[in-house]
């Protein structure tokens, strides 16, 4: 199947099918790129393949090569990156998608902008950070997710997109200290125009993101897949865990500053579904809140907001947009109009209305 063919299959969703792509690059140009890329070294490994640093002309690019058995994951991720109006400073920049060979020799590529710091997970491993850096990382990642979640109305609009695999390994750190959201392989879309949730063209029933970051409602199977709000609220829970990973990396009164993965003290290295359910749902456990955080105005607000976002009840979590407002307020030193107390109208609605 050619890339062009895949684009035409996108049918229902607004896209730049056939003419250009999310990168603004003609498809024909895209299709020749992977043959012109020189692989420098491997930089990452995920569930669906390997990511390498590549050289294309004089530019550094990231080349994600999918296992040939994961064509559906490649297809989905390519489809999402080509969504109209997806491009944003805090969403990984798509360059091209390509396919080469045939049969068991098929190679599937996704080419994106390269970020030398790698994932937020890797970045947080390297050194402790100061509060200003932490707020910048959390706020910018939230901006990317809020952009995904927001539907832009109109025929050339953008559907709302829920990520479904939010975690520090799927968020990259750019040179300027801001984050961008990556790994769209599990994303789901919703547009009011179509009034239906698009979960992609393959059966993804057994692919629901990373167990450690799974929301309580996914773990106890009370998740409502027919409501798009449910997908967004699950992203907010997972992102609250990422917020904790970030804030836990600052040193407050000589305490903290070690990198720790969420629930490091409660589950093993590769927890299974039941292990996570026991800890998150039955015991209602959440990552540790340090006492030192309470005394600091900005950190205590950050912490209270984060805890609201990992609530066991999806409808008492903030929306990604409301969270963005609060984090922006904190980035500005607690000054500005956003205020710290969340009002009822800013809370995520529990109905299927899409805001």
Could you tell me the smallest distance in angstroms from the CB atom of residue 170 to Mg ion? 5
Residue 170 engages ligand ADP in binding (rule: CB under 6 A): yes
Query: Pattern 127-166, binding to Mg ion, x per CB under 5 A?
Result: ----------------------------------------
Spatial strand order in the sheet of 188-191: 160-162, 188-191, 196-198
8 Å CB contact between 62 and 53: yes
Size of the site for Mg ion (CB under 5 A): 4
CA angle 149–342–209, rounded 5-degree value: 35
Give the nearer residue to ligand ADP in terms of CB position, either 92 or 219.
92
Residue 59, burial from CB neighbour count under 10 angstroms (0-12, 13-18, 19+): exposed
Q: Active site includes 165?
A: yes
Residue 234 engages Mg ion in binding (rule: CB under 5 A): no
Could you tell me the smallest distance in angstroms from the CB atom of residue 70 to Mg ion? 9
**225, 245, 331 from 319: Cα distances, Å:** 18, 20, 18
Question: For ligand ADP, which stretch binds (CB under 6 A), given 23-31, 108-116, 146-154, 263-271?
Answer: 108-116
Instruction: Please pick, from the candidates 93, 118, 159, 185, the single residue that binds Mg ion as defined by CB under 5 A.
Output: 185
8 Å CB contact between 124 and 59: no
The three-class DSSP label of residue 159 is: coil
Q: Which of 58, 89, 122, 165 is catalytic?
A: 165
8 Å CB contact between 232 and 348: yes
Residue nearest to Mg ion (CB): 185
8 Å CB contact between 6 and 75: yes
Please report which helix (H) or strand (E) contains residue 165, including its range. none
Size of the site for ligand ADP (CB under 6 A): 23
Query: What is the chain's alpha carbon radius of gyration, rounded to the nearest angstrom?
Result: 20
Instruction: Please pick, from the candidates 185, 216, 262, 271, the single residue that binds ligand ADP as defined by CB under 6 A.
Output: 185
CB atoms within 10 A of CB 343: 8
275 binds, among Mg ion, ligand ADP, none (CB under 5 to 8 A by kind): none
Residue 183 engages Mg ion in binding (rule: CB under 5 A): yes
**13, 29, 158, 206 from 192: Cα distances, Å:** 11, 33, 10, 27
Residue 248 engages Mg ion in binding (rule: CB under 5 A): no
Residue 46 engages Mg ion in binding (rule: CB under 5 A): yes
Q: Which residues are catalytic?
A: 165
Residues annotated in a binding site for ATP: 64
Q: Can you give the binding site for ligand ADP, defined by CB under 6 A?
A: 43-44, 46-49, 51, 62, 64, 92, 112-115, 118-119, 122, 169-170, 172, 182-183, 185
Residues in the site for Mg ion, rule: CB under 5 A?
46, 170, 183, 185
């Amino acid at each position: 199947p050619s890339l062009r063919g895949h684009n035409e299959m996108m049918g229902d969703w607004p896209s730049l099918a056939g003419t250009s792509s999310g990168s603004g690059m003609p498809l024909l140009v895209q299709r020749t790129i992977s043959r012109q890329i020189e692989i420098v070294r491997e930089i990452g490994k995920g569930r669906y393949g390997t990511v390498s640093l590549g050289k294309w002309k004089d530019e550094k690019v990231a080349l994600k090569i999918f296992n040939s058995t994961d064509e559906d994951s490649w297809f989905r991720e390519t489809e999402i990156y080509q969504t109209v109006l997806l491009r944003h400073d805090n969403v990984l920049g798509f360059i091209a998608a390509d396919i080469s060979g045939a049969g068991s020799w098929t190679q599937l590529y996704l080419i994106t902008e390269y970020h030398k710091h790698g994932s937020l997970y890797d970045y947080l491993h390297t050194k402790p950070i100061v509060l200003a850096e932490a707020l910048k990382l959390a706020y910018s990642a939230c901006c990317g997710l809020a952009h995904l979640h927001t539907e832009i109305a109109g025929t050339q609009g953008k559907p709302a997109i829920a990520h479904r695999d939010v975690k520090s390994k799927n968020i990259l750190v750019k040179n300027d200290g801001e984050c961008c959201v990556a790994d769209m392989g599990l994303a789901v879309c919703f547009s009011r125009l179509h009034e239906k949730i698009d979960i992609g063209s393959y059966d993804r029933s057994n692919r629901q993101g990373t167990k450690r970051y799974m929301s309580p409602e996914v773990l106890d199977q009370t998740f409502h897949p027919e409501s798009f709000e449910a997908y967004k609220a699950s992203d907010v829970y997972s992102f609250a865990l990422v917020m904790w990973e970030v804030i836990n990396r600052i040193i407050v009164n000589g305490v903290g500053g070690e990198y720790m993965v969420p629930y490091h003290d409660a589950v093993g290295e590769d927890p299974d579904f039941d292990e996570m359910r026991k800890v998150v749902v039955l015991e209602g456990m959440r990552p540790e809140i340090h006492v030192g955080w309470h005394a600091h105005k900005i950190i205590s607000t950050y912490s209270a907001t984060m805890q609201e976002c990992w609530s066991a009840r999806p409808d008492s979590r903030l929306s990604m947009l409301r969270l963005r407002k609060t984090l922006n307020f904190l980035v500005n030193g607690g000054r500005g109009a956003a205020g710290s107390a969340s009002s009822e109208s800013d809370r995520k609605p529990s109905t299927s209305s899409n805001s």
